[in-house]
Amino acid sequence: MNACPTSSARSGGIGWFIYTGRAQLDTVSVSAGLLTAIMIGLFVDGVIFRSHTRITVQR
């Protein structure tokens, strides 16, 4: 049983979006999906991990 069915590969997601765009040779969709994944990664690194590091690591 999947706790969050909307995150499964069958219903979509960024990875599935990139995969189907690649299979259909749709470079605009693949580029948009990759850019979205990069932006999410930069957000997580810049906001969540840095604030967590600042809170947990004593200087």
What pLDDT digit, counting tens, does each position of 9-50 carry? 566 889 999 999 999 999 999 999 999 999 999 999 988 888
pTM over 0.75: no
Would you say residue 17 lies in a domain? Answer: yes
Would you say residue 41 lies in a domain? Answer: yes
Would you say residue 44 lies in a domain? Answer: yes
Would you say residue 4 lies in a domain? Answer: no
Would you say residue 2 lies in a domain? Answer: no
**Structural domain count of the chain:** 1
* pLDDT greater than 50 at residue 5: no
* Domain around 38: 13-56
Please give the Cα distance from 39 to 20 (Å, whole number): 20
Helices (H), the chain: 14-23, 27-43, 50-56
